Amino acid sequence: MSTLRVDNPYTLETAVEVPLADWPEIERVLARAQEGAALIAAMPLSERKVLVEKATAAMEANADRIAEDISRMMGKPKSNALGELKTMAVRARKM
3-state DSSP of the chain: CCEEEEECCCCCCEEEEEECCCHHHHHHHHHHHHHHHHHHHHCCHHHHHHHHHHHHHHHHHCHHHHHHHHHHHHCCCHHHHHHHHHHHHHHHHHC
pTM over 0.85: no
Give the pLDDT score at 91.
Answer: 97
Give the pLDDT score at 43.
Answer: 97
Give the pLDDT score at 95.
Answer: 85
Give the pLDDT score at 29.
Answer: 98
Between CA 46 and CA 2 the distance in angstroms is 41
33-89 residue pLDDT tens = 999 999 999 999 999 999 999 999 999 999 999 999 999 999 899 999 999 999 999
Question: Is 1's pLDDT higher than 80?
Answer: no
What's the whole-number mean pLDDT along residues 22-34? 97
Question: Is 10's pLDDT higher than 90?
Answer: no
